[in-house]
Structure 1
Amino acid sequence: MKTIIAAYSGVLRGTGSSILSALQDLFWLSKSKVEKQLQIISVLQWVLTFLIMGVACTLILMYILCTDCWAIAALYLAWLVFDWNTPKKGGRRSQWVRNWAIWRYFRDYFPIRLVKTHNLLTTRNYIFGYHPHGIMGLGAFCNFSTEATGVSQKFPGIRPYLATLAGNFRMPILRDYLMSGGICPVNRDSIDYILSKNGSGNAIIIVVGGAAESLNCTPGKNSVTLKNRKGFVKLALRHGADLVPVYSFGENEVYKQVIFEEGSWGRWVQKKFQKHIGFAPCIFHGRGLFSSNTWGLLPYSKPITTVVGEPITIPKIDNPSQKEVDFYHSIYVDSLIKLFDKYKSKFGLPETEVLEVN
């Protein structure tokens, strides 16, 4: 009898352990699913912000002006006029916004990593050349407009400013959202102010290839538009700001797009948009909201690793000659290629892979 009771107790203990184990497994599975959904939501809100927030907020503001709540819209427009030049003067960053938990979910969706290779002196100013553009510059945003990858801890005393199209800062609400992350217009007035009237320890991140580069980005291709992009070098010389090459491995992998050949009607339309509006419309797709096997606006969850290279010391020359600009531009191109070659095999590329510089 004692033997039967002992055996029965053992079965109960085993069953209880099994049930507890199953509940724990279920709990962690649920937690994992919740985290994945939060990651998807965090990325989706950013994609929608990138694509439609500016236009949507403009239309909403116009609609409110036609309702009984017109005074709210009028007050905001008055504030907009008063605050119009703030983006050109370093903006209005918010550490609270940069530290939002949503950005950590955004980071983990891909995931995105920031790799530091050299220290940066707080007594100097810097211009980071970010490559490649990709469709949306996801790595540039996550690494330098949020604290998700620890940019402030990795480069203490350095204030990053991601430069983007000036037209974005003419859009109500969107402009304030962008400024809160430390994003500024990519124009001469804004860059001159940050590098000359904002002290030292500033780093302006310029996606050098711009819209032209985005037209050629596709998975499996590592190419940059750089040969005739020398304006950022001239700015660096005028302010004595050190140049820092930055390459994001995986930036081109997160979206697929239709590439139009040179001379085709599609490329003609894209170039007209690029010339007159500042951006080039791309026909692209990622994965669907509920399945990675369907098409949608969500990027594919592919790793993006952003490597910040060694700074190139630049002298201050008020009026640099074309020869001087060309000389430092060639040094920058060589440094970028060396950075790519040094780290390509560490981040999934074959040793034979060559960075195409156009």
Structure 2
Amino acid sequence: MSLFNVYPLFDITPVKAKDVFVYDDIGTEYLDLYGGHAVISIGHSHPQYVSAISNQVSELGFYSNSIQNPLQLQLANKLKVLSGCKDYQLFLCNSGAEANENALKLASFHNEKHKVLAFHNSFHGRTSAAVAATDNPKVVAPLNAQQDVDFAALGDLIAVENILKQNETCAVIIECIQGVGGLDESTTEFYQGLEVLCKKYNTALIADEVQSGFGRTGDFFAFQKHNITPDIISIAKGMGNGFPVGGILIHQNIKATFGMLGTTFGGNHLACAASLTVLEVIASENLMDNAKMISAHFMEKAQSIPQIKTIKGRGLMLGLEFDFPISELRRILIHKHHIFTGSSKNPNLLRILPPLTIQIKHINAFFDALKQEL
């Protein structure tokens, strides 16, 4: 049986990884500045992470959510402390798309409205409502297009209010730093104004932190820079350091009822062990401070390269924009310099999403390679 051919693949076969390095089947070492789409938060094969998952699976890897699972409550409590989001409840699922799907469904349950407002260049996942709220017609099937979604330009509060005042929108979903769309971010005035409008028109504000959460921006969540309080926060990617896990943080103003949400695999014992360890390592190794420190060094190095048109992002969610498509540059960085980087919807943007354990020497190696090719 062949694989369903939906991924364009580089001819590289990783077989092991350690911290910020990946090794292929012929022993080549690659510097990982992409983290598998921002998934690797505490470094590949972190010994504490490996130990926690190994110990958990030797005891109990899985049972359903019909029984008590104290690990879920431990995770919720640790998440509350480290994130500072104290007035929230946790629902666990398996992925970022599923997190956003549940967030949108919950918003509709909460206020009994049916439309969604998203923003141009958004990416929220590939499932039903999540992909309809993703601003890329290439990934929206006719089945998904039945969802009723409006789009506005990032930063346009007038357009937002014109839509919300029709009193049909259950949720506004937004990435405070857009990921796949190209690292665009609006102003604090806009995000705070968005919160005000959502409250005014009884619309849930969903912060999509699937890519930007868990310390990647230097804050635990990207929205925290703007001093807003979303109704729902979606999380995944760096949450499990490679183990499939996602979730939503739900403000206590939204009430739960039996059966409104559910999952088979979400919040299983292995997923909780993985995510608990990620939080412990982020705290014990001061990885959010490291993200800020490395980011400052990255910005300084980038400013010395005249071919870079714009530096985008915060923390270790970064983008370098050029005045030419970066596909060939990215290919050269992989095959000649053995450095993984990422692309985006913006063809001129090179995305940098390394493990939060990255060091200055690794950033220097990247810029040495970049200068050589430019």
More helix by share: 1
**Bigger relative contact order, structure 1 or 2 (CA pairs below 8 A, ≥6 apart):** 2
**TM-score by shorter chain over 0.5:** no
Calculate the TM-score normalised by the size of structure 2.
0.26
Calculate the TM-score normalised by the size of structure 1.
0.27
